[in-house]
Amino acid sequence: MPKKPKVEEIPEELAENETFISDEDIDIEVMCTSDEEEPTVYVKFTNFADVEDAEAYAEFLAETLPILLFETTRMH
Number of domains, the chain:
1
Say how far apart CA 22 and CA 48 lie, in whole Å.
Answer: 5
pLDDT at position 12 is 64
Domain of 62, in residue numbers: 27-70
Tell whether the torsion through CA atoms of 53, 55, 61 and 64 is positive or negative.
negative
Mean pLDDT of 21-45: 85
- The CB density around residue 61, as the number of other CB atoms within 10 Å, is 13
| pLDDT at res. 37 | 92
Residue 52 is assigned to a structural domain of this protein = yes
What integer pLDDT is reported at residue 58 of this predicted model?
Answer: 92
The verdict on residue 19 lying in a domain is no
* pLDDT (tens digit per residue) in 36-74: 999 999 999 998 888 998 999 899 888 888 877 776 555
What is the average pLDDT across 14-32? 76
